Amino acid sequence: MDRNKKIEQLKKELDKHLINHSTLDPKSLKLSEELDQLIAIEQRERAEWMQ
């Protein structure tokens, strides 16, 4: 699965999870951290490509 699809999938999964759980819930934190890491990688690669 390419990174953009994975990012979109994680966003949807996190949104669904947050309907019934706190943002401090362990699964919420894990999903959020994974999403942040993927977005950071994507942004870094995009910045390198632009140079």
- Rounded to two decimals, what is the model's pTM? 0.79
> What is the residue range of 32's domain?
3-50
Q: How many domains does the chain have?
A: 1
**Alpha carbons 29 and 12: distance in angstroms, whole number:** 14
Q: Judge contact between 31 and 10, C-beta under 8 A.
A: yes
Give the tokens for residue 20: 């019934």
pLDDT computed for residue 30 by the predictor: 95
pLDDT for 43: 95
For residue 24, the 8-state DSSP code is T
Task: Return averaged pLDDT per consecutive 10 residues of the chain, 51 residues in all.
Answer: 90 93 92 96 93 82
